[in-house]
Chains A and B, each alone.
Chain A
Amino acid sequence: MLFRRSLAVLFGFLIIYACDYDPSETDPGRLDQITYAPISVATPTVPAYPAMDIPEDNPLTEAGVQLGRKLFFDPILSKDSTQACASCHLPDKSFTDGLATSKGIDGLNGRRSAMNLLDAGFQSHGLFWDGRVHTLEEQALLPPEDPLEMHFNWPGIVERLKQHRDYPTEFRKAFGIDHRDSITKYLTVKAIAQFERMLVSSGKAKYDLALTSGSGVFFTDSELRGFTMYFDKSGGRMPDAECFHCHNAPLMASNDFFNNGIQQVSGLNDFPDPGRGGVTGSLLENGQFRAPTLRNIVLTAPYMHDGRFETLEDVLDHYNSGGHPADNKNPFIRQLKLSPGQKEDIIAFLYTLTDSSFIQNPALKSPF
């Protein structure tokens, strides 16, 4: 009888305990006890620039930008944890790496030169040298799995992030996830894209200030001559250097893709790197590449998609020569007949596109 009573009492306690027990309280992956209170970040703007598109499903928030910044500089995305995005996109070099083509974790050379990320958020007609993706989110998906770059895989990356001491909390603050198992590759690239959208011109390059009335900043005579030839503003008094056709203001870039005559080929099928044509399958577009921004160009040597030119002087010599003929060569790549002094003037002007405030901005440097 006593045994039966004891059993009944024990059973009663068990029922009470079971009713009160919430297994999630002891779940170490739970994040919902952490406050999720996202603070919006204003869309970056630069006078004279077009508006930046922000995807509706990835609004800028303080926590999102900070998480993206951390992920950008963290080698956790690479297989052997030795390379981060920032390994090939160094702030001091306007987010390039100073190499002709970047090296991946296995010491292999990439196919193309690391691109300048300044104003990447304003690019609305394709990213990479060949424009093969349309958004920064799509772009960030690719390098971690590229065998020539980070050579890892997204399931492995996501698992590392889930098990990390800090990242689950930061994903919670950025995206409001309730559990660390909700971390995904898509949230990871959203964060990186948010940070990359903050990589905008300060508007304080000498070029910008010289064109701002009342700034008290003026071009030197040489810079002004270079500016005039760059934009063909002399009315025929000076040579047209034809630069602006592909590197147009305000971004000093283009939405289009060009064959600028750097590659000698016997036909449009012979380009060693088909560039845009490799994406579209169009013969016409073989050998065509994006004309990247010339802002901070003095910081981003070597030049061209394959880094074949080490100096701006080499670049000017190429354009002055007219390049190699091809059926799709841009017609403005022609013998320019610029004198040595005129080439110096154009280079002096290119120096005015240097945005020191951008590369010195502590908010864009490594948080580690």
Chain B
Amino acid sequence: MNRYVLFNFKKMKYILILLITVGFGACTKEQDASAVTGSVTFSFNANYGIEAFQPVKAYTYGSKQTIKFSKLDFYITGIELLNNTGSISSDVAALIDLTSSNPSGSTITIPSIKAGSYSGLRFMLGVKSDLNKKLPKDFPSTSALANTSHYWEAWNSFIFSKIEGVFDVENNGNFDLGFAIHTGTDDCLQKIEISKSFEVTENGNIPFLFGMDVQKIFFDGTSMFDFVSSPLNHNPVNIEVLKSFSARMAQSIQLKN
């Protein structure tokens, strides 16, 4: 009986050693690098010159006019994170709404970014060409691109951005001139590229805070845009005007952190 117990003890000792060895092996085994991911978050806010941007707040426009905004939104697509081997693309498309009562309307989180070192990022202000060939019905309802309110058949294009509000032409307290700028078509697509080194770590999040100076969108270098002459700008016949708005909108976005 005792010999039997001793024999089994010896056998168990070998099994134990084997298990410990396997256990160490498992612990030291290199993890699949592609499975190690973190995330990146883009947040947007806006100012109007030196003032914080708020919907329906009155801002001085030029020297003697006043403007209030009721809508300011734009699409972000084609997000890429740049690294030394090229870039990692995300298929996240977002409609950033800086006038929304929902704070999440101005934030995008891009999940499952491979951990590692990055040197910058790139994205499109607007709907990139391959997506813009599609229709809202081609996207699942959860997609920002399923929004029929941001598609215009006359353009065969998504509406990349909407800026709307009212204007006090005489600066007499009567905001009786409505204005709108809606951009769209590939002509208005703008690329934004930022150089910045950052490290994505496992389950970590890298926040990027972007600021938009709304006032800059209307300043062409010499004067503010004349809304009195052209309050509604959304028609393909205005494409040159819309292209310049799109370019200035891209220039008005700066990384703040």
Contact = CB atoms under 8 A, between A and B. Distances in A.
Name the prevailing secondary structure of the B interface residues. mixed
Contact of A232 (B68, B147, B164, B235): B235
A285 B236 CA distance: 29
A329 B178 contact: yes
Q: Range of interface residues on chain B?
A: 35 or more
B175 A255 contact: no
A236 B174 CA distance: 29
Contacts of B236: 235
Contacts of B179: 331
Contacts of A256: 149
Contacts, number: 90
Contact of B141 (A53, A283, A285, A332): A53
A353 to B, nearest CB: 16
Interface string B50-73: 000001100000000000101000
B137 A51 contact: yes
A111 interface: no
A248 B234 CA distance: 15
A284 B165 CA distance: 11
Contacts of B164: 330-331
B32 interface: no
A236 B178 contact: no
A327 B180 contact: no
Contact of A231 (B68, B154, B180, B237): B154
B166 A331 contact: yes
Contact of A50 (B55, B148, B235): B148
A236 B56 contact: no
B178 A49 contact: no
B4 to A, nearest CB: 50
A352 interface: no
Interface of B: 55-56, 68, 70, 99, 101-102, 135-137, 139-141, 146-149, 151-154, 164-166, 174-176, 178-180, 231-232, 235-237
23 contacts: A49-B137, A50-B136, A50-B139, A50-B141, A51-B137, A51-B141, A53-B141, A231-B154, A232-B154, A244-B152, A248-B151, A248-B152, A250-B137, A255-B149, A256-B149, A268-B56, A282-B101, A325-B176, A329-B70, A330-B164, A331-B164, A331-B165, A332-B180
